[in-house]
Amino acid sequence: MTFLEKQSDPTSFMHWRGDMQADYLYTNGVAGNRFFAHLKKKDTFLASRCPQCKKVFMPPRMFCEDCFCDIPDKAWIEVPARGTVRVWTVATINAHGKKLKEPKVIALIDIDKTDSAMLGIIKTKNPDKDLFGQKVKAVLRPKKKREGTLKDILYFE
Amino acid sequence: MNKVCVIGVGHTDFNSMTPDMEWKEFMYEACQKAYVDAGIDPRKDVDSFITCAEDYYEGFGIFDEFVPDQIGATLRPCGTVCGDGIHGLGNAFMQIKTGLMDIVAIEAHSKVSDLLTFGDVVLFAFDPVFERPISGPVERPNFAGSPSYTKKAPKPLIGSSKETERIHPYFLAGLEMQHYLRKTGTTEEQCAKVVVKNKKNAFRNPYADYEARIRVEDVMESEYMFKPVKSLDIAPTVDGAVCIVLASHKKAKELGVDPIYLSGFGYCSETPWLSTRGMDAGYAKVAAKMAYKMAGIKKPRKEIDIVEVDDKFSYKELQHLESLGLARSGEAAELLEEGELDVKGSLPTNTSGGLLGVGNCLEATGLQKSLEIVTQLRGHAGKRQVPDCEVGLAQSWRGIPTGTGAVAIFTREGR
Ligand SMILES: [Zn+2]
């Protein structure tokens, strides 16, 4: 068939339907625990700097992926919760392939004073605006309500 | 050292869904065809069997346990590579090089139409602590009954808790495409031309499922899904199975087949961390370097006659050609517009129709691409045959959100 749209709903044929009970508890790890414990109390991010190549990782890590060496406690630093938009996209489709109620702007943000980037939702009234190079800062949940997960970072603006 | 030859290939038809066949029957068909093509009996002649599969795509735990019967491998050496088909080819290549095995069969498939929540399974491949929550509500009620968890799904901190508000993982392609366009000066129109070319090529490939006569405007007017990625920039998923049989040169001669040689392969993975990973398909560059060295290729652009590169998204074809050293940064789109990537051009690319024309067959991508190269080098490609091709390259990428790729070099003459 030479149509762009094809029948792709196999449920219209005889079948057995199953799903996976696959629930997990993901440990944050030593570095992750420190990062989130810090984020619960402060409005900054915690990063770690490789003693050999000086690369700054945010989220922080216990070892450098380039040098394959330990990153000691004294090499941890506090960095501002802000950065510069490297690339951004407007997502209009949900995980099931259907339309999202509202388009969402997601960016990869180079975090200041680090060699790392972070994915962030950008809150903007104009999703078509060119965000390249824009300075953005993280908006965190009110301190009392923070739970020590990535969701404490509500969005960037 | 042993030279490694392709002595048989087999494949099913590729379709957007395959409700009439179970996945085992489907794999059996591809393998049976490959064994007949090679003129061998798998129960006697094949020394080792390899499938390439990822449990969550398949819908099984420990999928490798479900493999032996439908590929002729019960009570025989058999294993699964959790990776793309070219990773499987590489494993088979090494088994033959050691002299331990004479004939090895490699199978890879996609029965993605059985997977009702593809987007969610792909999201499952994101870092659960630092990346996955970005997509929106990902928490579910705890069904396992652990007392430390509630029976209700936790309330989200922002936005809706509805599953329908979870963003599709392909947003990563939107980010990377924007980077590629900005860095190379390539335009969205030029990427649209990749779609037009590949869907047109697919008309001449009998097993391709997404052939279409479309214009650049059709692609440009298709809906933005992850700007700048539009709906027609995305290779739709497809079901299909491919089996390739490799043998040592000596064995191929004994069997009296006219072989195509697997003269080199390479593979590598970038860091999984999006925070520090490059956006320029470095995985393809490193894998190609390894494969070129093995195959003795010094000037890839001059020496390679035909290529099949991963085009799960239109821009990926151009990006991969550049990473493979077949075009300078920003040059791939020029080659495309000059017609050099056409079947009749100087660097025929994705003559099979690519994934945009055949369909995205997940872990079978590398074998589908290898199948096309072998078919072309054998001179069996019919109306899409590239004349005088001696050296071909197949490249795969494991798709969003991976930074893993593999390259295989096939040649008419042994090296
Ligand atoms: Zn380092």
Q: Tell me: the pLDDT tens digits for B56-68?
A: 999 999 999 999 9
CA distance B252 to chain A (A): 38
DSSP state at residue B45: H
Give the confidence band of A23 by pLDDT, cuts at 50, 70, 90.
confident
Which chain A residue's Cα is nearest to B195?
A4
Which pair of tokens denotes residue B308?
Answer: 């099949």
Residue A18 in domain:
no
Pairing of the two strands A44-49 and A76-80: antiparallel
CA–CA gap between residue B268 and residue B273 (Å, rounded) = 15
For the cut 80, the answer to whether the pLDDT of residue B150 exceeds it is no
CA–CA gap between residue B13 and residue B30 (Å, rounded) = 9
Query: Ligand 1 centroid to A69 CA: how many Å?
Result: 7
Q: Could you tell me the strand order of the sheet in which A76-80 lies? A: A56-57, A44-49, A76-80
Q: Do A23 and B143 touch (CB under 8 A)?
A: yes
Task: Classify the C-alpha dihedral A33-A36-A41-A43 as positive or negative.
Answer: positive
Q: Which residue has the tokens 């057995």?
A: A16
CA–CA gap between residue B247 and residue B42 (Å, rounded) = 13
Extended beta strands in B63-102, E state: 78-81
Q: Do A23 and B140 touch (CB under 8 A)?
A: yes
Q: How many CB pairs under 8 A join A and B?
A: 160
Q: Which residue has the tokens 């004349």?
A: B387
> Measured between beta carbons, which residues in chain A are less than 8 angstroms from residue B209?
6
Residue A113 in domain:
yes
- Which one has a higher pLDDT value, A3 or B284? B284
For the cut 90, the answer to whether the pLDDT of residue B238 exceeds it is yes
For the cut 90, the answer to whether the pLDDT of residue A128 exceeds it is no
Which pair of tokens denotes residue A58?
Answer: 């945010």
Query: Ligand 1 centroid to A61 CA: how many Å?
Result: 11
Query: Ligand 1 centroid to A31 CA: how many Å?
Result: 16
Q: Which residue has the tokens 């943000």?
A: A109
CA–CA gap between residue A80 and residue A36 (Å, rounded) = 15
Q: What is the pTM of this model?
A: 0.95
Which chain A residue's Cα is nearest to B232?
A4
Q: Do A3 and B212 touch (CB under 8 A)?
A: yes
Nearest to B157 among A96, A108, A151 (CB): A151
DSSP string, B143-194: -S--TTS-SSPPPPSSS---GGGSBPTTHHHHHHHHHHHHHH---HHHHHHH
pLDDT tens, B99-126? 999 999 999 999 999 998 999 999 999 9
Flag the least confident range among A53-67, A83-97, B161-175: B161-175
Which pair of tokens denotes residue B410?
Answer: 């096939």
CA–CA gap between residue B243 and residue B6 (Å, rounded) = 11
The whole-number pLDDT of residue B146 equals 53
- Percent of chain B, pLDDT > 70? 94
Residue A61 in domain:
yes
CA distance B356 to chain A (A): 11
Among A17, A119, A143, most B C-beta atoms within 10 A, so best to mutate, is A119
Q: Phi, psi at residue B392, to the nearest 5°?
A: -135, 150
Among A87, A124, A141, most B C-beta atoms within 10 A, so best to mutate, is A87
Strand partners, A46: A78
Q: Do A97 and B119 touch (CB under 8 A)?
A: yes
Nearest to B221 by CA among B213, B212, B229, B230: B230
CA–CA gap between residue B68 and residue B48 (Å, rounded) = 11
Q: Phi, psi at residue B200, to the nearest 5°?
A: -70, -45
Residue A74 in domain:
yes
For the cut 60, the answer to whether the pLDDT of residue B395 exceeds it is yes
Q: At CA B145, angle to CA B140 and CA B147, rounded to 5?
A: 105
Residues 232-261, chain B, touching A (beta carbon < 8 A): 232, 236
Nearest to A149 among B133, B171, B279 (CB): B133
Q: Which residues form the domain of A55? A: 29-156
CA–CA gap between residue A110 and residue A130 (Å, rounded) = 16
Complex ipTM: 0.94
CA–CA gap between residue B283 and residue B91 (Å, rounded) = 18
Establish how many alpha carbons lie within 13 A of residue B128's alpha carbon, considering only the half-sphere containing its beta carbon.
11
Structural domain total, chain A: 1
Nearest to B31 by CA among B142, B108, B131: B108
Nearest to B175 among A12, A32, A108 (CB): A108
Nearest to B133 among A10, A23, A151 (CB): A151
Which chain B residue's Cα is nearest to A117?
B275
The whole-number pLDDT of residue B157 equals 45
Residue A14 in domain:
no
Residue A2 in domain:
no
Residue A75 in domain:
yes
The whole-number pLDDT of residue B164 equals 83
The length of chain B is 415
- Which one has a higher pLDDT value, B153 or B344? B344
Cβ contact B238:B211 at 8 Å = no
The whole-number pLDDT of residue B245 equals 98
CA–CA gap between residue B77 and residue B390 (Å, rounded) = 33
Nearest to B212 among A2, A89, A150 (CB): A2
- Which one has a higher pLDDT value, B116 or B356? B356
Which chain B residue's Cα is nearest to A47?
B275
Q: Touching check for B385 and chain A: CB below 8 Å?
A: no
Which secondary-structure segment (H or E) carries A48?
Answer: strand A44-49
Residue A13 in domain:
no
Name the amino acid, one letter, at A13.
Answer: F
